[in-house]
């Protein structure tokens, strides 16, 4: 899969490729779908959610330009697969999931696989994780109608964020948002994508 679908489609950052080779995707999919774990496809993980397609996971990881000291915020833990890939490269990963049973099982799974540099939390990631901010990089793995202002606030000057924006009915675009050292924010559209929607739980901070 790595040779054909990841490197073969243009991912060339050695650290991203190593991380994709190291993280056992079969551990992140339901037992009955394990034989499909190494097809380059999203797969259902319950509660109407999916584990992203490996190529997209690799693409989003590469574009973040992670460093060993990077502190990363992920919104949308899901299975925890993307968090594990990030944790192979970055120093610390903070990941938020709104569906409690998914967040709890991702936490258990990441712990049993030895990812001590990932912290998980249940809540509405729209508001980010103020206590741990600012972050060098932010990755959102569910599609939002707009870039959540709290996430822009929690991005360090010089940092970058990757986020799919658009509704389920429309084409969504993967946006790369950059904050320069003066705090000026720019964004560019990278490619059309399809993600599950970013939902807003109770509307209050959790
Ligand atoms: N990164 C995941 C795939 C995520 S699918 C993986 O590697 O498996 C998107 C996830 O975002 C779903 O689990 C969904 O429940 C979660 N989500 C949706 N809205 C959210 C919100 N407001 N805050 C946090 N998580 C959210």
Q: Which of 48, 99, 73, 106 is nearest to 202 (CA)?
A: 99
Within a domain: 152? yes
**Is residue 48 situated within a structural domain?**
yes
- CA distance from start to end of the chain: 38
Is 52 catalytic? The answer is: yes
Q: Along the 206 residues of the chain, how does pLDDT read in single tens digits?
A: 999 999 999 999 999 999 999 999 999 999 999 999 999 999 999 999 999 999 999 999 999 999 999 999 999 999 999 999 999 999 999 999 999 999 999 999 999 999 999 999 999 999 999 999 999 999 999 999 999 999 999 999 999 999 999 987 788 999 999 999 999 999 999 999 999 999 986 544 44
Residue 153 in domain? yes
Q: How far is CA 193 from CA 34, 50, 56, 127, 200, in A?
A: 24, 14, 9, 23, 21
Rounded distance from Cα 122 to ligand 1 centre (Å):
11
Residue 201 forms part of a structural domain: no
Question: Alpha helices, DSSP H only, in 12-115?
Answer: 14-22, 54-63, 81-89, 100-112
Question: Is residue 198 domain-resident?
Answer: no
> Is residue 203 situated within a structural domain?
no
Domain holding 169: CATH number?
A: 3.40.50.150
Number of domains in the chain: 1
Q: Residue 143: give the domain boundaries.
A: 2-193
Distance 95 CA to ligand 1 centre (A): 10
Domain-embedded: residue 33? yes
Q: What's the CA gap between 99 and 77, in Å, rounded? A: 9
């Amino acid at each position: 899969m790595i040779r054909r679908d990841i490197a073969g489609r243009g991912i060339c950052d050695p650290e991203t490729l190593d991380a994709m080779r190291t993280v056992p995707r079969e551990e992140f999919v339901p037992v009955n779908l394990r034989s499909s774990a190494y097809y380059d496809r999203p797969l259902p993980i319950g509660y109407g959610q999916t584990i992203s397609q490996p190529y997209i996971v690799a693409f989003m990881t590469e574009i973040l330009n992670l460093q060993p000291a990077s502190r990363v915020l992920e919104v949308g833990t899901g299975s925890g697969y993307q968090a594990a890939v990030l944790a192979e490269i970055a120093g610390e990963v903070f990941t938020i999931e709104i569906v409690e049973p998914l967040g709890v099982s991702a936490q258990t799974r990441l712990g049993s696989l030895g990812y001590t540099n990932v912290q998980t939390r249940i809540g509405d990631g729209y508001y980010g994780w103020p206590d741990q901010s600012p972050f060098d990089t932010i990755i959102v793995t569910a599609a939002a109608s707009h870039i959540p202002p709290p996430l822009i606030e929690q991005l360090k000057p010089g940092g970058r964020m990757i986020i799919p924006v658009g509704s389920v009915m429309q084409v969504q675009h993967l946006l790369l948002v950059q904050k320069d050292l003066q705090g000026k924010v720019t964004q560019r559209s990278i490619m059309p994508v399809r993600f599950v929607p970013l939902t807003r739980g109770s509307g209050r901070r959790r």
